[in-house]
Amino acid sequence: MPTMWLSDTQKIGVAFCSGGGLFLMGGVMMFFDRAMLAMGNILFLIGLTLIIGTQKTLAFFARRQKWKGTAAFAAGITLILMRWAFFGFLIELYGILVLFGDFFATIAGFAGGIPIVGPYIAKALNSLGGASAAANGETVLNEEKKAKSSRQDPYILAHRYRDYMEKHPMRKSYGNKQYLNQYYQNLLANQPEPDLDATDDRSRAIRYAKERFESYYEIRDIARIIGWLDEAKEKGTMPI
């Protein structure tokens, strides 16, 4: 089960986030009660910090790609505290869509397995995810085009995956790190450990993967990058 990947601190964080969500829903049902909305935001921020850590939480809200969401989220909370609960919540909701919309598709995948109501919940979450992409000025099609063009330069792709994981810090779970250790060992099973001073492209790619990428998803794609490097070498079209 996914909960086995969480530490005790992260489980407490999930409880705080859940409580924050309940307070936010209660605040809306109580005709935008300022106290409940404020408490919901506080619990949610505490929970998020416990789940991904203080440093990653600050990095999450400080990303340039999501500055609109961060500004709207902060402005919404400020308006709620200033007794403009209705307008504050609407602005905060926009910020939440921009900041956390990337997670809706993942949540929808789990929610879809719930009997009877699951498909409806998944459909609603997917719709929210689409609204979030529109708010960010991004579409799935554009992302696919970027990914295809990036194949011409493995190092650009490597940076793109690093940036992707900075946008999705929750994927850096304990379970994924355990999987990473196994996968990395398999990757190097028939290869000598790259020399720290080695300058050949393959060693640089593997060393980059080991130092910078912290999840199974990224290390899996680094293996593809290494394959592209070998192919480019054979064709004499190294991009670096």
pLDDT in tens, 35-79: 999 999 999 899 889 988 888 888 888 887 778 889 999 999 999
Q: Residue 106 in contact with residue 53, Cβ under 8 Å?
A: no
In a domain, 43, yes or no: no
**CA–CA separation, 192 and 169 (whole Å):** 31
**191-238, pLDDT tens digit by residue?**
444 454 555 555 555 555 555 544 444 555 555 555 555 555 566 544
Alpha-carbon distance of 125 to 122, in angstroms, equals 5
Counting the structural domains of the chain, the total is 1
Residue 177 belongs to some domain of the structure: yes
- Cβ-Cβ contacts under 8 Å for 67 (sequence gap 6 or more): none
Q: Is 3 or 17 the better-scoring residue by pLDDT? A: 17
- The pLDDT of residue 92: 92
Judge whether 152 lies within some domain.
yes
Residue 5 lies in a domain: no
CB 109 within 8 A of CB 122: yes
84-136 tens-digit pLDDT: 999 999 999 888 888 877 666 556 655 556 667 667 766 766 666 554 554 45
Dist CA 188 CA 197 (whole Å) = 17
223 burial via Cβ count (<10 Å: 0-12, 13-18, 19+): middle
Is 153 in a helix, a strand, or coil? coil
**Closest to 231 (Cα-Cα) out of 154, 145, 173:** 154
Rounded distance between C-alpha atoms, residue 55 and residue 35, angstroms: 28
State mean pLDDT over 177-185.
46
Residue range(s) defining the domain that contains residue 184: 141-235
By the 8 A CB rule, do 225 and 154 touch? yes
Note the pLDDT of residue 78. Answer: 92
Residue 40's pLDDT is 92
With respect to residue 25, please indicate whether it lies within any of the assigned structural domains.
Answer: no
pLDDT at 24 over 50: yes
Whether residue 178 lies inside any domain: the answer is yes
Whether residue 151 is contained in a domain is answered as yes
Domain membership of residue 8 (yes or no) is no
